[in-house]
Chains A and B, each alone.
Chain A
Amino acid sequence: MRALAGFAVGGGLGLLLGLFTGSLHWAETLLDTTIQMVRNIPPLALIPLVILWFGIDESAKLFLVALGVFFPVYVNTFHGIRSVDRGLLEMGRTYGLSGWPLYREIILPGALPSILVGVRFSLGLMWVILIVAETISARSGIGYMTMNAREFMQTDVMVVGILLYAILGKLADLLAKGLERYWLRWNPAYQAAR
């Protein structure tokens, strides 16, 4: 749950900002440098600060996960929008599309393959950050369970925890793949292997 909430917040923000800087030049000039600077700070290096700012409860973990997933989604959305086929944009304009219809018909679908790469990437990252986040004074969660098991040398529980992460990771990846297969079914490269 923590993972999903953090993913929703970070991914959503990344998507929005990516769309914003990708489509508007002044937004890129204004924000992109800052975002790239923050991106290069490992989220886990912020743990001490995060504890100071947010305490040791839920919001700290949510913040770390959101921060971690933000960047892959942001970078890929930005790149996706920039790499939308110029020819199609031109065609859209000559057919009288602008504003939201142009976005819906051409820019978003064109950027989608790239955005989904970002989503898959950040889903993986989400678990890594969550495990570490859950080791800071959590009272529940798989990370907490595994950490506890380590303290008490309970190898079986540790293995269960690790397996759980593997399964969750695989599930998340399946979800992302399913989205890809549905949204990108027009693209021969993404069609189910026969």
Chain B
Amino acid sequence: MTLPITCNSKEIVAEKKRCSRGVSVGIKSVSIAFGGRTVLENFDIEIAAGEFVAIVGRSGCGKSTLLRSVVGLETPQSGTIALGEVAGSKGKPDVRVMFQDSRLLPWRRILPNVMLGLEPALIPQARKVLAQVGLAERANDWPATLSGGQRQRVALARALVHDPNLLLLDEPLGSLDALTRIEMQQLIKDVWRSRGFTAMLVTHDVAEAVSLADRVILIEGGRVALDELVNIPRPRTRGSARFAALEERILGRVLQRRALVEEQWQTISGRTEGRW
């Protein structure tokens, strides 16, 4: 298992408490079917507290369903999904979801949207988080006046203001343009590093998965087809040989070009062995 929690040395003191916020997730032999079609079958994964796991796979492979069942939006026909204990608190772990579309309430201004489900006393905190995602001055605007990327940032702020123990990201960057997406990835990376929650990211984008996650899981035919630790030290640069090799390997596996890619992998890993 990788070392799950990484804090910047400067922030360690201030964020020490938050670094232990993550909860573990245990998914055991979960099966989910819709109308006779099995989406997940005897599905098992263990996610350590504070770990960042990316789940990739083709459309309709059940990765979103998995995420939705963790938050209780789908009920598995069999199996269990257990969330670990929150360190230093006896309350139920706080799980928040970020969806592909921002799902902001169009009839609430930005700040009340971030405040959804919170006491009015927490307004300063909401403003702080809004500033963290760079939208402090838009607090009194309507969601309709924001761009797609800005809306996603508000959605991220809304999830973060609850200081979640587990953050589920259901292709949150799927509908953003390439530049905004890179910005958002950086933002997600930063907040994850500083807060230390457990994160599950569902994505189509293998590069995104490799750049963000500690571990990449490929779902295929309702099962785990690949479970790969990303052993690339952070900060990760997309251009590096290891990054590219790993991305290519996972992508190749997704696209079922296994034999060819294995071969390439052998040569690449052989060549870069000295640096591992």
Residue numbers of A with Cβ under 8 A of B are: 87-88, 90-97, 101, 105-106, 109-110, 112, 184-188
- Total count of chain B residues near the partner, CB < 8 A: 21
B122 to chain A, nearest CB (A): 13
Please give me the residue from chain B that is nearest to A97 by CB atom: B117
A90 to chain B, nearest CB (A): 6
**When the two chains form the complex, which single residue of A90, A91, A93, A186 contacts B106, counting CB atoms closer than 8 Å?**
A186
Please give me the residue from chain A that is nearest to B94 by CB atom: A96
Q: Mark B49-82, 1 if CB is under 8 A from A, else 0.
A: 0000000000000000000000111000000000
**Given A186-B108, A187-B106, residue A91 in contact with residue B99 (CB < 8 A):** yes
**Given A95-B116, A106-B105, residue A186 in contact with residue B142 (CB < 8 A):** yes
In the bound complex, do residue B105 and residue A105 qualify as a contact, i.e. CB atoms below 8 Å apart? yes
Complex Cα spacing A184 to B72, Å: 32
In the bound complex, do residue B107 and residue A94 qualify as a contact, i.e. CB atoms below 8 Å apart? no
Contacts of A186 in B (CB 8 A): 106-109, 142-144
Lowest 3 A-B CB distances belong to which pairs?
Answer: A109-B107, A91-B103, A186-B107
In the bound complex, do residue B97 and residue A109 qualify as a contact, i.e. CB atoms below 8 Å apart? no
**Given A94-B97, A97-B116, A186-B108, residue A88 in contact with residue B103 (CB < 8 A):** yes
Contacts of A92 in B (CB 8 A): 116
In this complex, the member of A90, A94, A185, A187 whose beta carbon has the largest number of chain B beta carbons within 10 angstroms is A94
Contacts of B97 in A (CB 8 A): 91, 94
In the bound complex, do residue A87 and residue B101 qualify as a contact, i.e. CB atoms below 8 Å apart? yes
B163 to chain A, nearest CB (A): 13
Please give me the residue from chain A that is nearest to B71 by CB atom: A94
Interface status of B95 (Cβ within 8 A of chain A): yes
* A to B CB contacts below 8 Å, 12 in the list: A90-B103, A91-B103, A92-B116, A94-B95, A97-B117, A105-B105, A105-B108, A105-B116, A112-B107, A186-B106, A186-B109, A186-B143
Complex Cα spacing A97 to B95, Å: 13
Complex Cα spacing A91 to B142, Å: 18
A108 to chain B, nearest CB (A): 9
Complex Cα spacing A167 to B186, Å: 60
Complex Cα spacing A95 to B114, Å: 11
Contacts of B73 in A (CB 8 A): 90, 93-94
Complex Cα spacing A96 to B97, Å: 11
Please give me the residue from chain B that is nearest to A95 by CB atom: B117
B54 to chain A, nearest CB (A): 20
Interface status of B96 (Cβ within 8 A of chain A): yes
B161-216 contacts to A, CB under 8 A, are 162
Complex Cα spacing A161 to B185, Å: 68
Complex Cα spacing A93 to B103, Å: 12
Complex Cα spacing A192 to B223, Å: 53
B34 to chain A, nearest CB (A): 16
Please give me the residue from chain B that is nearest to A89 by CB atom: B103
Complex Cα spacing A96 to B73, Å: 12
Contacts of B116 in A (CB 8 A): 92, 95, 97, 105
Contacts of B107 in A (CB 8 A): 109-110, 112, 184, 186-187
B124-183 contacts to A, CB under 8 A, are 142-144, 158, 162
